[in-house]
Amino acid sequence: MRPRLLLTIALTAGITAMGATGVNVYLNERASPEARVLSSTFDSTVLGEQRRLIVRLPESYARQPDARYPVVYVLDGSSQDRHTAHTAALMARIGVMPEVIVVGLPNSSGEGRQRDYTPPFMRMDIDQADGPPGAGDRFLAFLKTELMPAIERDHRTDSTRILAGYSRGGLLVVYSLMADPDLFQARFAFSPALWRDDEVVVSRLGEFLRASPGLEGFLYLSLGSEENDKMTAAYRKAVAALEHHAPSGLRWRADLTPDADHGTNPELSTPVAFGALFAQGRLRPGL
């Protein structure tokens, strides 16, 4: 069953359960969406540049001053954070997940995106044989030492951190699991560009999983069924590595999204990722 249909069914059931009175109270009392979106800039010493941030607060944030919330850090912010926040809000309303704070991280530029989301053992541009390596390690250091402490100081967060990335951002998400496993409790990699540099991240993922029997956390992978052959081949190899080597403490799930392409897969997969993360009990991994 397609993710959009699953979400529609879940929303319909949730609204029915709330009843007319509950829906009216919710519509009358919820805060304006514009009032909950905070745009700002952040001066990063680690990156040596100013970065823009988009913080989307949950609907109950103002009226529940003692509540604390998980935080979803969304790469490619300004294109991916809006649908992520809207999906999370819809699913929280029907009680299938908690409300979350969504932090969108817009890119500084096209070249900056390549730099930030590419692991340091890979070239930023595969068409340049002598091109510079990525600086994904530096970007993770920015998140760890500067951005996340600031978010946790300025907003009412709990201990759950989630990283969501798409395409090359998904590549960074998978790399972050190997580089700093404890930095996030959950990771969503939508259409990850695992094919780059002869699938070196896939090889390293298998090695990492075999060497990490105590690994914990949650990992969600998805790919559109209409994506190209090189994306699909690398994705399937990553899933096979998880099937054969993932330790028992790592909850994971991998989905092939029906009728989705590279552009539509992230939005279709986001509700499935949230549902899998916050579902009761353990997951059965698989493609």
Cβ neighbours, 10 Å, residue 50: 10
Local structure of 206: helix, strand or coil:
helix
Residue 42, burial from CB neighbour count under 10 angstroms (0-12, 13-18, 19+): middle
For residue 195, is pLDDT > 90? yes
Query: Per residue in 226-266, pLDDT tens?
Result: 999 999 999 999 999 999 999 999 999 999 999 999 999 99
Over residues 157-186, the pLDDT tens digits come to 999 999 999 999 999 999 999 999 999 999
- Pairing outcome for strands 69-75 and 186-190: unpaired
pLDDT for the residue numbered 280 = 59
Which class in CATH covers the domain with range 35-278?
Answer: alpha beta
- Model confidence over 113-130: pLDDT tens digits? 999 999 999 988 876 777
| Integer Cα distance of 224 and 98 in angstroms | 27
**36-56 mean pLDDT:** 96
Is residue 31 predicted with pLDDT exceeding 90? no
Mean per-residue pLDDT, 74-93: 96
Name the token pair of 34: 């514009």
Whether the predicted pLDDT of 17 surpasses 80: no
Q: Which amino acid is at 112?
A: G
pTM of the model: 0.87
Chain mean pLDDT for the chain: 88
pLDDT at 12: 41
Query: pLDDT band for position 35 (50/70/90)?
Result: low
- Provide the 8-state DSSP code for 191: S
Check if the beta carbon of residue 133 is closer than 8 Å to that of residue 114.
no
List the structure tokens of 193.
């560009």
Task: Give the pLDDT of residue 131.
Answer: 78
Count CB neighbours of 216 within 10 A: 13
pLDDT for the residue numbered 123: 87
Reduced to 3 states (helix: H, G, I; strand: E, B; else coil), residue 183 is coil
Q: pLDDT > 70: what percent of the chain?
A: 84
Mean pLDDT, range 41-46, rounded to an integer? 96
Rounded Cα–Cα distance for residues 138 and 46 (Å):
7
Contacts of 119 (CB under 8 A, 6+ apart): 134, 136, 137, 171, 172, 175, 179, 201
Query: For the residues 130-150, what does the mean pLDDT come to?
Result: 95
pLDDT for 64 equals 97
Dist CA 195 CA 223 (whole Å): 13
Distance (Å, whole) CA 2 – CA 49: 41
Q: Is the pLDDT of residue 40 over 50?
A: yes
The residues spanned by each domain of the chain are 35-278
Residue 156, SS3? Answer: coil
Would you state the pLDDT for residue 171? 98
For residue 189, what are the CA distances in angstroms to 166, 186, 232?
6, 10, 14
